[in-house]
Amino acid sequence: MELKNLIKRIRELDSNALIASQEFRDYVEKQETEINRGISSLCILSIIIQAGEEGSHGYKILKDLTDQTNEMLVIEEGTLYPILRKLEDDNIIKSEREETGRKRKFYRVTDYGKKIFNHLAGFYSKLTEAIAPLYDISINLKSEKYLFCPMCANKIELSNLEVRFCDVCGNNIEKELKERGLRNE
């Protein structure tokens, strides 16, 4: 969550609340920034992937991200565009200027970017699942839809029944597929 949105909410609280103390806020904001840094890129990639071949432009990415995270992850334009430039420099996404009533830059995920996303999404998902008991929460990883590689945590869609190996680490996943009844013995 961006600092100014958090501050707006804090102003509505009692001035004696712990979060109103500068020391508390400074520490919490630093930790939240560190956590959000990597998550923001991953979430932006997810939004662009959801847009499919059509791609998505900056304003729509911001709106979808805000809506889909129930306003918990709100990114400002000044934060979004440097992230998009970095993703583009790293060949994770590509952009194209298009005129759809007005000139806009549309972003699409590259094939390489999809592999990066699946690996990072798998890693993040498995990490979240692993630490969930520390916070007394439960996580449902949609195991009917995905297999997470036991070697590298890469997220593998089960809709492609021809897959035999993890495309990130090369691990043979036949055993896991058999255990799920997706392969014959």
Distances in whole angstroms, Cα of residue 114 to Cα of each of 24, 56, 64, 103: 39, 15, 19, 26
Q: What is the pLDDT of residues 29-47, one digit of tens each?
A: 888 888 888 899 999 999 9
What is the pLDDT averaged over residues 134-154? 93
Q: What is the pTM of this model?
A: 0.83
What is the 3 state secondary structure string of 63-129?
A: HHHHHHCCCCCCCCHHHHHHHHHHHHHCCCEEEEEEECCCEEEEEEECHHHHHHHHHHHHHHHHHHH
CA-based diameter of the chain, in Å?
A: 65
Higher pLDDT residue, 155 or 35? 155
Predicted local confidence at residue 20, as pLDDT: 73
Q: What is the pLDDT of residues 87-121, one digit of tens each?
A: 999 999 999 998 777 889 999 999 999 999 999 99
Q: Domain 1-109 falls in which CATH fold? A: Arc Repressor Mutant, subunit A (1.10.10)
Q: What is the pLDDT of residues 4-25, one digit of tens each?
A: 455 455 555 667 778 778 888 8
Whether the CB-CB separation of 84 and 107 falls below 8 Å is answered with yes
Question: Where do the structural domains in the chain lie, given as residue ranges?
Answer: 1-109, 118-185
